[in-house]
Amino acid sequence: MTSGGKRIVFTGGSGKAGRHAIPYLLSKGHKVLNLDLIDFPNPDAGVFTLKTDLTKSGQVFNALTTHYDFDGYETGSPEGPPDVVIHFAAYARNMIVPDNETFAANVTATYNVIEAASKLGVKKIIIASSETTYGVCFSEGVTPYHEFPLEETYDRDPMDSYALSKLCGERTARTFARRYNSDIYALVIGNVIEPHEYERDFPSHVNKPETRRRNAWSYIDARDLGQICDLCIQKSGLGFQVFNATNDTNTLKEPTEAFLKREEPNTKITRKMGEYEAPLSNRKIREVLGFKEEHDWRKYYKPE
């Protein structure tokens, strides 16, 4: 860990997003302990995984004061609370377990992580919310968006248990940020794309835009999500915040407004959008956090 690096506890780091976000954080000089039920997939990454059931409050409190690896025992004192907690662990969608279990486990885990971190004095917490909260991804049938672009002021009204659990997590974050005068930032994460998925999936994504409607023709590169986490660590004093976490541009071969006016003619466009701006807009993270994407999909797939 460099002199400017932070001690980070990252939950769910073995998952699709975390396995790329954590290496990015390590490259910036941070030290990371992964709390998960499965080991970190890259054994050479230097990431220790502590098997932790986040639905059990006692385990969470204990895990947040655990050494980051066995070398910690050489320091001669027990581990203190981390500088930052990043909470990504969850059932990642509906239909992994029954709906009530998705809701109960996700809400309980998020509450336990935020409560434990807050009561241990952690002043920077980052949690994963979801694009599904915009109410179309897991809606029943074809339902309209209220407006474009989708921004953080949108009236999010999902139908499903997974998205509902994420909105409850945001409300929990707001409550504890106010109570403890801390920074808790909720990332409304778009469809996460890993590096190997560009070649495999983007021919369909780009050439069959109807398949991307539920994702609002938007995405987030898992590595760029790591950058967003690091920018959240650097930016303090904002209290509770919600940030869309997506890449800059749409997953289309044409400008955004022309496509939306043709394909979604009954949905209003509330402001002038960038030529290829993602409908799930990341304008706030660009303006407030200084996000600059590194992984535009066009670097990895060239449409015909």
Q: Which tokens is 219 given? A: 């995405």
Q: What pLDDT is recorded for position 304?
A: 78
Question: Which whole number is the average pLDDT over 263-280?
Answer: 98
Mean local confidence (pLDDT), 7-22: 98
pTM to 2 decimal places: 0.97
Residue 232: the pLDDT is 98
Characterize 194-208 residue by residue with b for buried, 16 or more Cβ atoms within 10 angstroms of its Cβ, and e for exposed. Answer: eeebbeebbeebbee
pLDDT in tens, 143-158: 999 999 999 999 999 9
State the CB neighbour count (10 A cutoff) for residue 100: 9
When the pLDDT of each residue in the chain is averaged and rounded to a whole number, the result is 97
Residue 2 scores a pLDDT above 80: no
Torsion angle defined by CA atoms of residues 101, 32, 226 and 145, in that order, rounded to the nearest 10 degrees: 20
Q: Are 25 and 1 in contact (CB under 8 A)?
A: no
Q: Mean pLDDT over residues 28-47, rounded?
A: 96
Between CA 95 and CA 72 the distance in angstroms is 39
4 pLDDT higher than 90:
no
Closest CA to 285 of 218, 187, 193: 187
Answer yes or no: is pLDDT of 16 > 80.
yes
Q: What is the mean pLDDT of residues 90-105?
A: 98
Q: For tokens 């049938």, what's the residue?
A: 141
pLDDT category at 3 given cuts 50, 70, 90 is low
pLDDT in tens, 61-79: 999 999 999 999 999 999 9
Q: 7-299 architecture in CATH?
A: 3-Layer(aba) Sandwich (3.40)
Looking at residue 214, its pLDDT comes to 98
Average pLDDT over residues 17-35: 98
Residue 166 tokens read as 């994420």
What pLDDT does residue 14 have? 98
User: Does residue 4 or residue 292 have the better pLDDT?
Assistant: 292
pLDDT tens for 202-235 read: 999 999 999 999 999 999 999 999 999 999 999 9
pLDDT of residue 266: 97
Query: How long a stretch of residues is the chain?
Result: 304
Structure tokens that stand for 48 in this block? 């220790």
